[in-house]
Every structure is written in structure tokens, then in C-alpha cells.
Chain A
Amino acid sequence: MAPLLEVRNLVTRFYTEQGVVHAVNGISYELDEGESLGIVGESGSGKSVSVLSLMGLIPSPPGRVESGEVIFNGRDLLTLRQSEMRKVRGREVAMIFQDPMTSLNPVLTIGRQMTEGLKLHLGMNESQARNRAAEMLNLVGIPGAEDRLSDYPHQFSGGQRQRIMIAMALSTNPALLIADEPTTALDVTIQAQIVELVKQLQEKLGMAIIWITHDLGVVAGMVEQVAVMYAGYIVEQGSVWEIYKQPAHPYTLGLLQSLPKVDAKNQTRLASIKGLPPDLRQEFDSCPFAPRCPYVIDKCEEENPSLLPTDVPERRAACWRWDTVLEEESRFGVEA
């Protein structure tokens, strides 16, 4: 069976006055129906731009999707006309964003905002749409759903607003939900509520999920596959269970080692990754992580490694020295 989503060699650049920003540099991944993928990276790693590109939401100018294919349900989304793309967005692929405060319109009622998509995409009439909206609000755990449809966004808390965004995104029964840092603006206890909710909804509704985050912890209990991004490249990809235990890329290893553990006494000094992420106004002939990498060899400066299979099944890494890195004991392999 063909995968639900296949991204091939996606390249996105921004043409700014300060130069060409190489935001996404040829990334590829696949996602099956009902599967979940976590895209992990720091700010500026291209994780958000990569999904905005496949949704056709890159502001142009200055942005441009230069090349690549995004095959979703057998069609290349990048070749669709605006009007066709509009039917995909919100209907087959839905998205939730980081800030639930700014992604809801403050002057329209929740009911109005929730029914808009239902009427547009599913051709429902007002009362059908309101019923469906209330049903979805119930599903995401907002009590008194029927009455609350006439409330405005400011009458809800941050966590509730994110629940409403999720209800809205899933109301058209999309095959793919893209979540762009949906819990970053929320407190930990509320974050736990939202993660739990999305997990339950996925079991119930069976949609595929792409979950973008900078927090390695959030995706650990949430997704099956992880892609780690750095400087617009996927530098490592594999199953979540193994990647945390035995990373094959020095950047993944560095990220894991720089995190303090909440459940261990007497922790050793945090290993920090030296230096800064690179300026993306350049094309990389060398490995973009080389200047910060403790494993760097001459070859890293000469040739940028591509994402290639390693000895670990289904694991790919963009590193010349993945075999050495794999041997390194990640701090999660040993008990403190």
C-alpha cells in the first residue's frame, strides 16, 4: 500500500534583502495512515517551514518552494491550484498552531468559527454544523458544549482554546493532523492534558499525526517515528524507542545529553553543545553541524553527508561517523 504522505526532496528558500535563506534543504519522509511522526528541532531548524511548505502556506514572496514532491493520497500537493489546495487544507489535512490565543479570531464566537469549515468543506447547513461543532467540543472535553458555542475566545482559558483548535481541526475528519508546537505556550499540567487528549483522539479517529516540537520529552510518549532537523536538513530519523536510547547523529546525542533528568539524583554536569546554529544564508558543502561537532573529521569539512541507512534497522543518519556515535553510551542507557 502506498503511504498516506510522501515528501520527496523538499526545498524551500526565502529571498530576503539580507540574502537567500536556505530554510529547508531537500528533506524526504513518509507517513502511513494512522501513523505518527515527530519532527524535532530548535528554532530556525526548518521544522515549521517544512510543514508549511507542504500545506502551501509559505508566504510568497519572500518564500518559495523550489523543488520537491508532496504526494498525499496519490496527488502531488505542490502542483495543485490554489482553489484545489483550499479543498485539501482543513478537509483532508488539518493543522493546529502554537499559540491558541492568536489563531482564534477574537471578535467571532467559537460557534461561528467552528461551523465555518464544516459548512464550506462538508456542505452542512447551519444546524447540522452546530450539532457537529457541539459534538466535537464534547469530544475534546469542554463541558456544556451547546451553550459555549456562543462564547468568544477570551472567555476560555489557554488550555481550553487549544482544545477548541483541536476540535475545529478534527471536525472534518482529516486523514492527517499537523500539530505545530501546540503545547509550547501552555503550562506543564495543561500540556499533559492536551497530549493525553490528542493520543486518545488518535486512537478513536485514526488520523495520522505530524507533531512538531523542540521538546524531546513531549514526543517521546506520543509518536512512533522521529525526524531530527538541523539547519534545514533531517539529520537523523528512526523509531522513537531506539533513537533516544542510541542516537546515531552527534546532534541528537548532544541534545539528549544537554537535558537534565527530572527523575535522577546526583546528576553529572550537563554536556552542552558548543557554539551556535549556523547562519542559513549559505549553501552547505560541508556538514552543517561540523563546527559544533565533537566527532568532526576532515571528511566532514569536505562533503555534506546525506541521510543514509545505518546498521540499526529503519534508522537513517546524515553523519560520516554514525558507527562511532552509535557506540557512544547515551545517558538514558545507564541508570543513575
Chain B
Amino acid sequence: MSRENGKEVLVGVRNLKKHFPIYRGVFRRQVGAVRAVDGITFDIYKGETFGLVGESGCGKSTTGRTILQLLEPTEGKVIFEDKELTSLSKSEMRRARRDMQMIFQDPYASLNPRMTVGGIVAEPLEVHSIGSRKTRKERVKELLDLVGLNPYFINRYPHEFSGGQRQRIGVARALASNPSFIVADEPISALDVSIQAQVVNLLDDLKAELGLTYLFIAHDLSMVRYISDRVGVMYLGRIVELSERDEVYDHPLHPYTQALLSAIPIPDPEKESQRQRIILEGSVPSPSNPPSGCHFHPRCAYATEICSDVDPEFRNLGTSNQPHWVACHHAEKFL
């Protein structure tokens, strides 16, 4: 496994792109592409929780799915435990999938309503031919217990459970094949506030207990700060800033990160009344026709000529021990 800063790299993402073609007309000619993920490069270290944040449509979910090869990348590489995933054959990929699993956003849509809880959680075991029928049943009970559900529920159906419990079933399913890497795509956004903390604490405990590595995708910046070790901020298909959690939140170097952080409502009227909000103009442009140069320049208060002409380089303005990557021509201003 490759190393960086003395840490093992579990997942290496290199210039990853995912473009969805747009077809028009009788002959279904391709007239353009939605550039959902447009050239991103980052590492996920073994044992860490990497938080990926951004607003809807920025490409964070597509990034998660493309890393797992659930979507075929248009370009770029994903290196997982020294294997280059994009070059694997179908059967090799299927074998590799054991080690990387996904937890989905909507616990109502991601569980088959006609399958029992036992069937749902055992499915990855069957697909990957792990264990015998009998050991599988034991394993399912063990998994249910692990995620805080009564193993007695094994023959019940998803509709008999609440949202939080369903999400636990989703977690149990993801853990079934004993993966080392889990992509959690907005795992708590469909849940009520009092239940969110339950599920986040569960994910935290499981990580410590099983030595998991997470890619945690979310739009809730407070929760991402709480759960992540390092954080990447996405805007229109690109990562614009990446560093240690507290670095990103306390010393944001990209104007978009600054605006995003200032927009989060804080449940404290005193702090709220003293805050200076950066209110962004307009909304996120279409990823099928992103602005030239820096994608953020039309909404940026610091934009100059260079921003509309030249793509900013993703560069390290931190130290080699604590890198702070940012894609902004004017980031030095905020150091």
C-alpha cells in the first residue's frame, strides 16, 4: 500500500471524471455532457473518515458511486489497496466489491419491501458466496446485534421499522461482507434530528470496533465537522478545498468554503445575531455548461480577470505535515 505523510493510502483517486452525455434529436446525437465529476484527485487514508461536502448537484454522490465503480468513470483512476479498479475485469471487480460497500441516503427506497430483514442483510453474503446457509443466518443475527437491532427481527419486513431502524438495517447489510471501506452517501439526511445522532454514533462506534474507513458524503456541514478527520469541499464537479477538518472549518482558504460555512444556521441566537453572513449571489450554474476558468468566479466577491480566464491550480498552501489544498488564484489573501 502506498504511503503519504506516514499514513497508508487506502483509496487513491486520480483525475477522476464522470460525464453524462446529453443526446438530442432523432439520431440521438450527443450534443453535450453533464460534467458531474470533472477531474478530482485525492487520497483517503486507512482508518480515517473523509468528509465530502457540497450543495446538491456538485457531484459528491456521483464521486462516491464512481469510486465504487457503480458508475463507469469517463476518465481517471481509482486505486484501492494497490489495485487499479478501472482496469479490473468484471469478476475481479465483483471480488473487490466485498471490501467496499455503500450506505444509501433514503432508508425507505434502498431496502426491498418484499424481502425480510434477514434476506436483505444476507444478500451480500449470498452474492459473494460467503459461508453456508446456516452460518449466514448466524452472521445476520450477529450483524443485527452489532447495529443495535434485536436479532429477533430477522423475519420482519422493512415497513415494520422506523427510518432510523431502517438505516441500521442498511448499515448491517453494508457490513455483511466484512468490508474495509464504506461510502456513506448522506446516511442521515432523511432522518429526524433526534435520530440522526443515534445513527452517527453507531457509525462512529463501528469504525472504531471494525477498523473501517469511511467516505462520508453529506451536505450538513456541522455533522461533517463532527464525524470527519479530513474534509473536501466540492463545487460544480471539482474539489475546491481539502484539508484537516479543523483547518477547513477554522481557516477556510476558498471563498466558496467561506460562504458555505457562513451560511450554516447556528442554533444559538447570541452567536447568530453577531455573525457576518456572506450571502452568495445567484445559484449554482449548470454542470453541462460550467463557467470558464474558475467555476466559482461568477458568484465570487474576490474574482478578478484571471479567474474567468485561467483554471486555478489545486495547490498546497499548508505545510507538508498538514497539507491544505485549495483551488483559488487568490487564496494567499486568506492565509
With a CB–CB cut-off of 8 A, which chain B residues contact A254? Answer: 194
Asked whether B300 is an interface residue with its Cβ less than 8 Å from the other chain, the reply is: no
Distance in angstroms between the alpha carbons of A224 and B250 in the assembled complex? 29
B residues 179-229 in Cβ contact with A at 8 Å: 192-198, 200-201, 204, 219, 221-223, 225-227
**B194 touching A217, Cβ below 8 Å:** no
With a CB–CB cut-off of 8 A, which chain B residues contact A160? Answer: 283
Asked whether B280 is an interface residue with its Cβ less than 8 Å from the other chain, the reply is: yes
**A217 touching B197, Cβ below 8 Å:** no
Distance in angstroms between the alpha carbons of A263 and B272 in the assembled complex? 12
Chain B residue at smallest Cβ distance from A156: B283
With a CB–CB cut-off of 8 A, which chain B residues contact A244? Answer: 267-269
**A218 touching B265, Cβ below 8 Å:** yes
Partner of A188, one of B250, B263, B271: B263
- Choose among A43, A157, A263, A267 the residue with the greatest number of B CB atoms under 10 Å from its CB: A263
- Choose among B196, B197, B219, B221 the residue with the greatest number of A CB atoms under 10 Å from its CB: B197
A residues 46-94 in Cβ contact with B at 8 Å: none
Distance in angstroms between the alpha carbons of A193 and B262 in the assembled complex? 11
* A188-B219 contact given A220-B268, A220-B269, A332-B267, CB 8 Å threshold: yes
With a CB–CB cut-off of 8 A, which chain B residues contact A157? Answer: 283
**B283 touching A259, Cβ below 8 Å:** no
The 0/1 profile, CB within 8 Å of A marked 1, for residues 12-51 of chain B is 0000000000000000000000000000000000000000
* A260-B263 contact given A157-B283, A189-B55, CB 8 Å threshold: no
Distance in angstroms between the alpha carbons of A218 and B277 in the assembled complex? 13
Chain A residue at smallest Cβ distance from B281: A193
With a CB–CB cut-off of 8 A, which chain B residues contact A216? Answer: 193, 267
Chain A residue at smallest Cβ distance from B265: A217
**B226 touching A267, Cβ below 8 Å:** yes
* A220-B266 contact given A188-B219, A269-B201, CB 8 Å threshold: yes
**B193 touching A158, Cβ below 8 Å:** no
> What is the interface size of chain A, counting residues whose CB is below 8 A from a CB of the partner?
46
**A258 touching B261, Cβ below 8 Å:** no
With a CB–CB cut-off of 8 A, which chain A residues contact B222? Answer: 259-262
* A272-B226 contact given A262-B221, A262-B261, CB 8 Å threshold: no
Asked whether B164 is an interface residue with its Cβ less than 8 Å from the other chain, the reply is: yes
With a CB–CB cut-off of 8 A, which chain B residues contact A265? Answer: 246, 250
The 0/1 profile, CB within 8 Å of B marked 1, for residues 270-306 of chain A is 1111101100000000000000000000000000000
**A42 touching B194, Cβ below 8 Å:** yes
**B263 touching A189, Cβ below 8 Å:** yes
Secondary structure of the B contact surface, majority rule: helix
Asked whether A192 is an interface residue with its Cβ less than 8 Å from the other chain, the reply is: yes
Measured CB to CB, the closest approach of chain B to A156, in angstroms, equals 10
With a CB–CB cut-off of 8 A, which chain B residues contact A220? Answer: 265-269, 272
With a CB–CB cut-off of 8 A, which chain A residues contact B260? Answer: 188-189
B residues 253-301 in Cβ contact with A at 8 Å: 259-273, 275, 277, 279-280, 283-284
Asked whether A221 is an interface residue with its Cβ less than 8 Å from the other chain, the reply is: yes
**B201 touching A260, Cβ below 8 Å:** no
Asked whether A159 is an interface residue with its Cβ less than 8 Å from the other chain, the reply is: yes
With a CB–CB cut-off of 8 A, which chain B residues contact A191? Answer: 263, 265
Partner of B269, one of A159, A241, A274, A277: A241
**B225 touching A262, Cβ below 8 Å:** yes
**A188 touching B193, Cβ below 8 Å:** no
Partner of B197, one of A158, A240, A258: A258
* A214-B192 contact given A241-B269, A260-B222, A262-B264, CB 8 Å threshold: yes
Chain B residue at smallest Cβ distance from A218: B265
With a CB–CB cut-off of 8 A, which chain B residues contact A255? Answer: 193-194
Distance in angstroms between the alpha carbons of A274 and B260 in the assembled complex? 31
Distance in angstroms between the alpha carbons of A191 and B260 in the assembled complex? 11
Distance in angstroms between the alpha carbons of A49 and B52 in the assembled complex? 36
Asked whether B162 is an interface residue with its Cβ less than 8 Å from the other chain, the reply is: yes
- Choose among A43, A187, A332 the residue with the greatest number of B CB atoms under 10 Å from its CB: A187
Measured CB to CB, the closest approach of chain A to B167, in angstroms, equals 13
Chain A residue at smallest Cβ distance from B54: A187
Distance in angstroms between the alpha carbons of A220 and B226 in the assembled complex? 20
The 0/1 profile, CB within 8 Å of B marked 1, for residues 291-325 of chain A is 00000000000000000000000000000000000
Distance in angstroms between the alpha carbons of A52 and B284 in the assembled complex? 33
Asked whether B56 is an interface residue with its Cβ less than 8 Å from the other chain, the reply is: yes
**B194 touching A190, Cβ below 8 Å:** no
**B197 touching A189, Cβ below 8 Å:** no
With a CB–CB cut-off of 8 A, which chain A residues contact B196? Answer: 258
* A193-B279 contact given A188-B221, A270-B226, CB 8 Å threshold: yes
What are 13 A-B pairs with beta-carbon distances under 8 A?
A43-B192, A188-B221, A189-B279, A191-B263, A192-B262, A193-B279, A216-B193, A262-B249, A263-B271, A267-B226, A272-B195, A273-B198, A332-B268
- Besides A214-B192, A262-B221, 18 more A-B contacts (Cβ < 8 Å) are A42-B193, A188-B219, A188-B263, A189-B260, A190-B55, A192-B262, A192-B277, A193-B280, A195-B265, A216-B193, A217-B267, A221-B275, A255-B193, A258-B197, A267-B226, A269-B201, A271-B197, A273-B198
In the complex, the 5 A-B pairs of residues with the closest C-beta atoms, listed nearest first: A217-B265, A221-B272, A260-B226, A272-B197, A192-B263
Interface residues of A (CB under 8 A from B): 42-43, 157-160, 187-193, 195-196, 214-218, 220-221, 240-241, 244-245, 254-256, 258-263, 265, 267, 269-274, 276-277, 332
